[in-house]
Amino acid sequence: MLQIRDARLDDIPAIEEMVEDFVKGHPAENQPRSADALRRAYFGERPVTHLLVAERDGDIVGMGQWRLGHDMFWGWFFVEAEWLYVRPRCRGSGIVTAIVAAICGHGRRAGAQFLHGGGGEGPQKLYERVAIGMLSRECFLSGKGFQVMASLEGLPVREIVRRLPTPELSRQPAES
């Protein structure tokens, strides 16, 4: 039987396994990740988001995270669905749909009036069936590029514009 539930600390090893499979082929595939960072992100003093896991017969087979947001145009709260993943051996069995339904339920109880989500092939097929979609120009400012941009905080606008990072810096790891 499938159960969608809040992730627990003892789920960290299964979550790490799923992340290792999920990241294959992504530019961050070889980026070191730590169990401590997962603990802090989801179970620390100030969790950054909520993580749900799909459990079937005692085995963690999928996950998805959600957070509450606010749409300033509509004036409504929404739930953001992210990092939806189902283990390859379990794909095509409706697990991603159950995770999205659980995220919507959690979001509604938190005051959300709609879901915003995206993702790969699994979630996209579901969203195309039940949701309104639009083209997106999503972007990521990361690594050294993020560090440079953050260091521009508080400078005069002209100086910020002069020092903007190049896109290439987002492909380089952040410096410690």
pTM for the model stands at 0.82
Residues 80, 112 contacting (CB under 8 angstroms): no
pLDDT, averaged per 10 consecutive residues of the chain (176 residues), comes to: 96 96 89 91 95 97 96 91 93 90 94 83 68 69 85 88 88 80
CA angle 171, 172, 175 (to 5 degrees): 145
Q: Where are the domains of the chain?
A: 2-130, 139-176
Confidence (pLDDT) at 126: 67
| Res 122: pLDDT | 62
Whether the Cβ atoms of residue 88 and residue 104 lie closer than 8 Å to each other: no
**CATH number of the structural domain 2-130:** 3.40.630.30
How far is 169 from 142, CA to CA, in rounded Å? Answer: 8
pLDDT value, residue 90: 94
* Pairing of β 76-86 and β 50-56: unpaired
pLDDT for 161 equals 86
